[in-house]
Amino acid sequence: MASSDRPRTESVQSTTGSTVYSVEDAGTVTVAFDGTALNLVDSAAAAGWTVSVNSVLATEIEVDFVSSDRHLRFNAEIEDGAVRVRVVIGADHAGLELKGHLVAELRRLGHEPVDLGTHSAEPVDYPPICADVGRAVVTGTADRGIVLGGSGQGEQIAANKVHGVRAALCNDLYTARLSREHNDANVLAMGGRIVAAGLASEILELWLATPFEGGRHARRVAQIADIEHQQQEQ
């Protein structure tokens, strides 16, 4: 009997106005909001999985992915006329100002930010905050994560210690795009002492909107996950 799990999902806004959800390694679901109702555009199962549509309502779509030992139930919902992405965000004191800016940007874009702190300019150690962001992403509590510091480098390293996190340091648009297209990054790191607010907004929007290309890149991302699994077994 397959066990029922809440899937870890990632979602990006496509150029056609639809939203493509990657449901772990099980497949993808594409939905679109036409101003009145949420519509299922497409669903596709990966090898070893089957996909079935459980229900389609005006405000919610439910899709099941089933393998020999797992059952993942995906839900897409609309709120205030838009498909929302839950993004968990954390920063140390050096990233505090940029965090406030990006929280406002996420709300402007119609997404749901979850702020894990810090909430003051007092010096604080970043590793626990970044680990909490990573854990929220890999457990499915959030769709994506953001970690911020002075340069973003330590924050990226700390987040990547959580198995299942693929954190990318993106202080420019080029690396932001490639981190999604080639690496399927699920956590974005930026440096508050490096990136100005305007560029940070562009990086955020591009990073959320860029889909993973899959193909040969999926094989390489799977190899990274295999390394994590090998470490766990030692």
Is 62 considered catalytic here?
no
The DSSP call for residue 182 is T
Options 10, 24, 105, 155, the catalytic residue: 155
* Distance from C-alpha of 228 to C-alpha of 195, rounded to nearest angstrom: 31
Is 229 considered catalytic here?
no
- Tokens matching residue 181: 């297209």
- Tokens matching residue 189: 């790191």
Q: Which residues 6+ apart lie within 8 Å of 216 measured at CB?
A: none
Phi and psi (nearest 5°) for 22? -95, 120
**At which residue do the structure tokens 């198995």 appear?**
163
**Buried b / exposed e along 174-213 (16+ C-beta atoms within 10 A):** ebbbbbbebbbbbbbbbbbebbeeeebbebbbbbbbbbbe
CA end-to-end distance (rounded Å), the chain? 29
* Distance from C-alpha of 85 to C-alpha of 147, rounded to nearest angstrom: 16
Of 185, 148, 181, nearest to 10 (Cα)? Answer: 185
Q: Which residues 6+ apart lie within 8 Å of 28 measured at CB?
A: 20, 21, 22, 42, 43, 44
Options 182, 205, 213, 217, the catalytic residue: 182
Catalytic residues: 155, 182
